[in-house]
Structure 1
Amino acid sequence: ELDLIYKENDLLKLTEKGTLLQSNNEISLAAAAIHWAAEPYLMWLSLVDSLKHNRQMYSQKYGDTIFEWLDRDKSTLQLYHTAMAAYAKHDYQDIADKVDLSKNHIVIDAGGGQGVLLDYILQKYNHLEGILLERAAVIQNIIQTNEGKKRFSLVNFDLFAKWPKHADVIFLSRVIHDWDDKFSIAILKRAKEALLPQGNIYLVEIFLDENTGNGGMLDLNMLVLTGGMERTKAQFTNLITQAGLKIIDTAFLRSGYAVLKLVPVSENE
């Protein structure tokens, strides 16, 4: 029924979809299957309360946000980021073809997990200095699992405090959807502070489609897990405007993700 296995000559074999659950698959979803069946599954028990109050309620009952839960255990954190890296390898394959960074110098991937997106960018634009900004626990995990043996530097940071590095290119990929409007605007303002003159911020997110419902399940998932949300293009535009930024270009990846190119609003506007 799930199209994961089929029977042939009294043997059960994996379908093409089923091979995605093999850990040796280049884009393996094995870690994702294990991760989502653990604590995040239990967080969905708070769905009704989350809908009533329009915010994440699991931590109200049990004391841990999902990020605190992840950081508490090294194996849990590793499993999560292995899952997120698999998604990124699939979703961001053509990201470097959608941006022109030929004249830029320094690129920051803020909250970029294991740095898959940054890797894709640096493979094409190898003249760039790459910086991955992440939480201390994530950076330590990258170092311990040898994921840090790449051509970008690892820097500990807090999304909501002043960022320790500046760049003329900043990527925020699947970061804003973790947060409500208040926190999202604060993050965008921190990114703007860290942007060098003539630089650009690239926001990589999926658009919620109110007509078709596309993205609706993920929207619920973000509410339950983090108190965040998926947004329509109009909602993103509103957030971006409140942060003192504006959209100057929009591109789409093959995976359906939008790449919004942002610049600060000038004093004359």
Structure 2
Amino acid sequence: MTVHDTRTPDLGADQSDAADPAPAPAPAIDPASDPALDERAPSIADRAALFGVLTGGWTAQCLYALAKLGVPDLLAAGPRPVEDLAAECGADRRALRRVLNAVTAAGLFRETAPGTFALTPVTRLLCRDATRSSRPSAIMFGEEVYQSFGAIMHTLRTGEPAFEQLYGKGFYDYLDDDPQLTAVFSAAMGNAAVPAALAGCDLSGLGTVVDVGGGDGGLLGKVLTRHPAARGILVDLPEAVEQARAKLTAAGLDQRVTVAPGSFFDPLPTGGDVYTLSRVLHNWDDEQAVAILRRVREAVPDHGRLLVFERLEGRTPDPARAAQAQLIDVLMLVMLDGRDRTEEEYRGLLDAAGFEVRSVRAAPLHSSSTESVLEATPR
């Protein structure tokens, strides 16, 4: 059995470097500021807010279906009548019109003339060629993730991922058997932003950086661009490293990078000055996370460092981002055996693997990223 060691796509928290996540409909009164809230009868505004939350999944599934059919791509050049869209994407004209009416009423598309529709800046992100396209995430969220949330009662009753109950195997084993889903997953992860906490890391004099579970090479590419004398090694499974090779070649960095197909549960390249694990450990339970860290400990030299980028429980001060981070934690609950952890818990994992944490730095205050970075050295 091959262990698939890529990462969990975030629910939008890291799909944009600057845009804030759209807030959920607010109740009529802020619960934190109303001591008599328990005694107040629900208002019409409360009912509307709850209805908006309960029906949010309907809107998401409409966007999934439109993205899957390629409707945003058909509208990329400008408005088009629904008859043309239905003919080209293979949809029923009346059904497509009703779905487009719904998402237009939600402000996600525009109707420029009766029966003629156009994109908004939000739905332009669902086009295949959009910068850091959200199409792969929309498709995965609309299929395996949607089904897993539909079985959340199994998770609540057993504590086990609903995904395994639905599909008969763990998420990464399932990826191994489905190349099409693997491609969608890798593309979704490739569109995630590099953790903003990277900017606070002192990498002066860097020789070689080894990005373990580096996906499509986004983090490694940013490090090498900022440090022209450095070289890099990227470790991930074959599907991911091929995407990384193409991306790094397009950036003119291919002569400074070695791609190493493989699992981070197997021996890793040795001798790097800095090793990085970005959004990897939270996907795994404690035993597996320590196993990954021990592989890094075997490879890192005495003078080397490890940078671990993860969201730390209780360290996301912005309420909107904290709420979104908690949803990501529930995503992991229904899909995987992993979870977000506190700083102390990550310190414990690193200690068990033979590392000593030297510093912990949060992301810049106004960044969209929620990950902190733990810097550790061999003990």
Superposition map of 1:87-126 within 5 A: 87-88=192-193, 91-92=194-195, 94=196, 96-126=198-228
| Partner in structure 2 of residue 232 of structure 1 | 342
Cα contact 1:85–1:116 (8 A) shared by 2: yes
- Separation in structure 1 between the aligned mates of residue 294 and residue 119 of structure 2, nearest angstrom: 48
- Separation in structure 2 between the aligned mates of residue 178 and residue 155 of structure 1, nearest angstrom: 21
Superposition map of 1:76-95 within 5 A: 76-88=181-193, 91-92=194-195, 94=196
Cα distance per residue 1:205-224 (max 9 Å; x no partner): 11223996642211111122
Cα contact 2:183–2:239 (8 A) shared by 1: no
Superposition map of 1:72-221 within 5 A: 72-88=177-193, 91-92=194-195, 94=196, 96-140=198-242, 146-147=246-247, 149=249, 150-151=253-254, 152-209=257-314, 214=323, 215-221=325-331
| Partner in structure 2 of residue 44 of structure 1 | 149
Q: Residue 59 of structure 1 aligns to a residue in which SS?
A: helix
Q: Which amino acid aligns with 1:261?
A: E
Superposition deviation, residue 140 in structure 1: 5.0
Percent identity (aligned): 27
Find the partner of 2:159 among 54, 75, 79: 54
Using the size of structure 1 for normalisation, the TM-score is 0.85
Deviates more, 1:38-47 or 1:163-172: 38-47
**CA RMSD between the two structures:** 2.5
Using the size of structure 2 for normalisation, the TM-score is 0.62
Give structure 1 stretches of 5+ with no counterpart.
none
Aligned length: 260
| Partner in structure 2 of residue 31 of structure 1 | 136
Superposition deviation, residue 137 in structure 1: 4.2
- Separation in structure 2 between the aligned mates of residue 192 and residue 59 of structure 1, nearest angstrom: 31
Superposition deviation, residue 171 in structure 1: 0.7
Cα contact 2:206–2:227 (8 A) shared by 1: no
Cα distance per residue 1:209-247 (max 9 Å; x no partner): 399664221111112212111112232222223223232
Deviates more, 1:211-220 or 1:243-252: 211-220
- Separation in structure 2 between the aligned mates of residue 33 and residue 239 of structure 1, nearest angstrom: 33
Deviating 4+ runs (over 6 angstroms): none
Cα contact 2:268–2:295 (8 A) shared by 1: yes
- Separation in structure 2 between the aligned mates of residue 206 and residue 16 of structure 1, nearest angstrom: 28
- Separation in structure 1 between the aligned mates of residue 167 and residue 181 of structure 2, nearest angstrom: 17
Q: Which amino acid aligns with 1:170?
A: Y
| Partner in structure 1 of residue 23 of structure 2 | none
Q: Residue 223 of structure 1 aligns to a residue in which SS?
A: helix
Structure with more helix by fraction: 2
Cα distance per residue 1:153-201 (max 9 Å; x no partner): 1112222222243311011001001101111111112112211222111
Q: 1:141 to 1:124 in 2, by over 3 A?
A: closer
Q: Which amino acid aligns with 1:56?
A: P
| Partner in structure 2 of residue 223 of structure 1 | 333
- Separation in structure 2 between the aligned mates of residue 63 and residue 141 of structure 1, nearest angstrom: 29
- Separation in structure 1 between the aligned mates of residue 351 and residue 281 of structure 2, nearest angstrom: 14
- Separation in structure 2 between the aligned mates of residue 172 and residue 207 of structure 1, nearest angstrom: 14
Structure with more strand by fraction: 1
